[in-house]
Amino acid sequence: MRNRKTFGAHSALALLSLAICHANAADTTTQEQLAAKELRADKAAEKTLAKMTQEEKLAYIGGIGGWDVKPLSQYGVPQIHGADGGAGIRYTSEGNDPGVVYPSGPNLAATFNPRRAIDFGRALGYDTASGGYQFVTGPGMNLYRMPWSGRAFEYLSGEDPFLGASLGPAVINGIQQRRVWAEAKHYAGNDQETNRFILNQVMPERVLREMTLPPFESATKNSTVAMMMCSFQKVNGEYACENKHLIADILKKEWGFKGLVQSDYNAVVHGLPAAQAGTDLDMMGGQMNSSVLKPYLDSGELDMATIDDKVRRILKNIYLYQFDKFAPLTTHNMNSATSNKVALNIAREGIVLLKNQGDVLPLDKNKVKRIAVVGDLAKYAPPTGFGSAHVDATRYISELSGLRQIAPGAQVEFLDTLSLDPTAMHWTTTDSKGNSVAGMKTEYFNNATWSGDPSATQIDTYVNLDWSSDKVPSNGDTANTSIRWSGQVTPTISGDQVFKVRADGAVRLWVNGEKVIDNGDGENITNKSIPPTIPVSGKIKLEAGKAYDVKLEYSRRDGYLSTMGGLVGVQMSTASLTAPSDLSQYDAVVVAVGNSAEYEGEGFDHSFDLPEYQNELIQNIAKANPNTVVTMHGGTALKMSDWIDQVPAALHAFYPGQNGGQALAEILFGKVNPSGKLPISIERNIEDNPLYKDFPNFDNTRTKVKEISYANDLTMLGYRGYDKTNTKPLFAFGHGLSYTQFTYNNISVTPGVAVGNTPIKVSFDLTNSGKRAGSEVAELYVGQQNPKVERAVKELKGYKKVFLQPGETRHVTIELNDRSLAYFDEASKQWVIDADTFNISLGAASDDIRLNAKLVNPFRQELSTTTSNPLPRSALNSVKVTLPAVKTGGVLDQAKDTDAANGNTDYDGNTEY
């Protein structure tokens, strides 16, 4: 783990890093003031640049350590420290815990609420500065294309570019209001992890402009985003960080990006093309430096003005954020009450109720007196993904704890017999005297093949070895070690029993002499990437009350990580897949299933199937108890079709953050009315995904998939594909149930004829026709009737989240602009609106359209790539940080303001019952 010392008041960095905690109010800087600040920063940067030698400039454009910008101490410029922060601050300064673990990107997307995005940004910016950092590597804004994607849990765009374009700038503006640099990533196309260091993503220009880039375009035009991180993959044959079309032509020239472009870590493969393309800061790669670039400067192939521009951009960012003089931070609270409140509120709005047959939810406190909870994911900190966005929660509310707190009058029982927890296993073995004792016999070998006599023998209570923290007998060569565990297990339930082993090496497991698990040579699945420690599972039919011999052999391999959610060591657990005979006596069963850092994360893609035979477990539980509620976790869709028809209620919690257990319990018992909407489509089978033929399987071996075509994304990505093929997914984009009902009436479009960039107002009446207060997300889609080029049937171009009391009707308006109707014309290199009639569709989901209208564009229009905006005026206003802040205990607290502005008065983002 990286430790950092916090900077004192005497450091120049104090002026930069800790602007956040003692600010007097929200940023109400006028455009004139901002222009004046930029002018001063420009002059200061130019003055320092003029003093620097060529060698100093070439050294400056290479990062230092893992995350930082080098200091220029001789010119009074401090080192600028960055932190990983997709879902919270992973590393902190010395002596501090990690920051708050926030809900994942898909949770934020599921809120369909820019005000939640602003709050998240402000809280993350506060945590960043509290940890002693000046920039945070987020938000992640790439699109979701397939449920394989290992990093989808980081990204806030879901499967729709407009959703990302509306939420990304809101997060960025929130972060940077705290005087911390935000870094939008990954520019561009980091949509899967398969072979990410060599993968070529072939994108037609229209796909690039209309699908991949809008979130980044919006971040540039609708926030003063300080940094942009270029990604690993190739785009149309060129590495993203060496792609002149992406960086120099589009980002910097067309969009006018004023910040700096930083490479992903080791993403610069060739220094010269990266420098020429517009990458400004080479992080960790060592390719943009004097030894590589000076020969090209000497030959004239590289212009010194290109290097100067990079240095100038970095310096300007530093000086721009140093002009506000603030008192230095004196406390380092990485788990503030305000940040926790923000995390809780996002989870409350970002958990999606998928199914609620027979209104089994919300649970009635007066009737539900006994609840069974199943699944290790419900027992500890709510899960999150693996990799650079992984944060270990130091404080959390588990789903089990949340249920016990929200329903203190109920008996909430965790069923260990159905949950895979290494520390809850009951093994027996024979000691050296022949006595039966609890635990397993453990034999250590000073070789990798269990050869010869063991070097040490002991009894372990269970198999849960962590090389990074445990003291174990060895010859000191822990990389050349094998271990054998042996003992007995006695099931309490007859039927299929699952065994799970997670290890940083080769494992073989025998039960009653039958080999149940064998993962081959045990080498990690990635080469150049960060290696995950992925479990393997097997099952065998056993009888209750009968003792079975169990033998586990483990041989360690190099290259695994103990951080970022990884494991160096070995764990073994077992559980029944068959429900106990008394399960029907519970009033409800809550089953937590899905992925976690063990199965999903950076550097590798994952299966569509639920791990650990969880599908069979759900089926068996549902047969035993008709009141089974399934909570699914993960950053993607996972296979639900083999059990969804057998359970009355299901939710997708994604990764709900450290307070997700409270949010889930509040939703299950109706204290919070769910309002989340799916930012992705969930297919019934993986073959149903409209892009399946373009990406039929993931490949983490670097041997097969080296190129992916994006040619069909315009009309086949997500809901667009389901519309085109006229098929229904299992759950559609935008789907999400409530405990109340909403009706839509009286749609009107003003003006009915598009005139230039005059705002187009789509108005309608939205009524809460149910008995509970709640929020509805009204989704506005646009489709061209007679397109001259291939276009989607409809595309999301607006939405609004509206809070209504029972029986209340509100007249709601959602705006469109000229870009709402346009497509990118490859010939003219402009956005074009054809003379045509456009269909306006308004509804509660992409497959649940309630109202329809028409809009006429009488003549062809061409829109500039520089001046046109992917966000209409009202959507643009919603991403701005303009609300007054409330100062509470030295922490700027905006949650109360944003809730009030959203029609809520309980400060929690939802009305409580």
At 543, give phi and psi (nearest 5°): -110, 145
Q: Which of 28-42, 413-427, 885-899 has the highest mean pLDDT?
A: 413-427
Query: What Rg do the C-alpha atoms of the chain give, in angstroms?
Result: 28
Residue 595 has pLDDT above 90, yes or no: yes
Average pLDDT over residues 142-163: 97
520-547 pLDDT per residue, tens: 999 888 766 788 999 999 999 999 999 9
Task: Give the model's confidence band at 904: pLDDT under 50 very low, under 70 low, under 90 confident, else very high.
Answer: very low
CA distance 242 to 274: 4
Q: In the prediction, which pLDDT does 763 show?
A: 98
Average pLDDT over residues 755-780: 95
Query: Which residue, among 288, 262, 271, 198, has the nearest Cα to 235 in the 3D structure?
Result: 198
At 544, give phi and psi (nearest 5°): -65, 140
Residue 672 has pLDDT above 90, yes or no: yes
652-671 pLDDT per residue, tens: 999 999 999 999 999 999 99
Task: Give the model's confidence band at 887: pLDDT under 50 very low, under 70 low, under 90 confident, else very high.
Answer: very low
Average pLDDT over residues 626-640: 98
Task: Give the model's confidence band at 388: pLDDT under 50 very low, under 70 low, under 90 confident, else very high.
Answer: very high
81-98 pLDDT per residue, tens: 999 888 999 876 555 678
Average pLDDT over residues 121-144: 93
Task: Give the model's confidence band at 892: pLDDT under 50 very low, under 70 low, under 90 confident, else very high.
Answer: very low
The number of C-alpha atoms within 13 Å of 389 and in the hemisphere containing its C-beta is: 30
CA distance 584 to 626: 8
> Given the structure tokens 């006429």, which residue do they identify?
856
Residue 25 has pLDDT above 50, yes or no: no
Q: Which helix (H) or strand (E) holds 798?
A: strand 795-804
Average pLDDT over residues 468-490: 82
Residue 704 has pLDDT above 90, yes or no: no
Q: In the prediction, which pLDDT does 780 show?
A: 98
Residue length of the chain = 913
pTM tops 0.85: yes
Span of 475-479, 594-598, 614-618 with lowest mean pLDDT: 475-479
422-576, CATH topology level? Jelly Rolls (2.60.120)
Pairing of strands 456-460, 370-374: unpaired
Cα 678 to chain center, whole Å? 14
490-531 pLDDT per residue, tens: 999 999 999 999 999 999 999 999 999 999 999 888 766 788
Domain 742-882 in this protein, CATH class: mainly beta
Q: 258 exposed, middle or buried (CB, 10 Å; 0-12, 13-18, 19+)?
A: middle
Q: What is the mean pLDDT of the chain?
A: 90
Residue 606 has pLDDT above 80, yes or no: yes
Q: In the prediction, which pLDDT does 539 show?
A: 98
CA distance 609 to 868: 42
Q: Which helix (H) or strand (E) holds 50?
A: helix 31-51
Q: In the prediction, which pLDDT does 431 show?
A: 82
Residue 902 has pLDDT above 60, yes or no: no
Phi-psi category of 803—alpha, beta or left, where left has phi over 0 and alpha has psi -120 to 50? beta
Q: Which helix (H) or strand (E) holds 622?
A: helix 614-624
At 567, give phi and psi (nearest 5°): -145, 135
33-327, CATH topology level? TIM Barrel (3.20.20)
Q: In the prediction, which pLDDT does 524 show?
A: 86
321-378 pLDDT per residue, tens: 873 443 334 456 888 999 999 999 999 999 999 999 999 999 999 999 999 999 999 9
Pairing of strands 464-466, 456-460: unpaired
Q: Which residues of 163-192 are buried (b: 16+ CB within 10 A; e: fewer)?
A: bbbbbbbbbbbbbbbbbbbbbbbbbbbbbb
Q: In the prediction, which pLDDT does 323 show?
A: 39
CA distance 613 to 611: 6
The DSSP code sequence of 566-603 is --SEEEEEEEESS--TTGGGSSEEEEEEE--TTT-BTT
The three-state secondary structure class of 386 is: strand
| Crossing angle of the two packed helices 304-322 and 31-51, in degrees rounded to 10 | 130
Q: In the prediction, which pLDDT does 584 show?
A: 97
Q: At 206, list the tokens.
A: 């229209």
Q: In the prediction, which pLDDT does 479 show?
A: 63
Span of 34-48, 737-751, 764-778 with lowest mean pLDDT: 34-48
Residue 308 has pLDDT above 80, yes or no: yes
Average pLDDT over residues 409-434: 92
Residue 767 has pLDDT above 50, yes or no: yes
Span of 175-179, 291-295, 635-639, 849-853 with lowest mean pLDDT: 175-179
Domains 33-327 and 742-882 share a fold: no
Domain boundaries, the chain: 33-327, 422-576, 742-882
Q: In the prediction, which pLDDT does 884 show?
A: 37
Query: CA-based angle 757:760:766, to the nearest 5?
Result: 160
Q: In the prediction, which pLDDT does 3 show?
A: 38
More confident of the two residues 912 and 784? 784
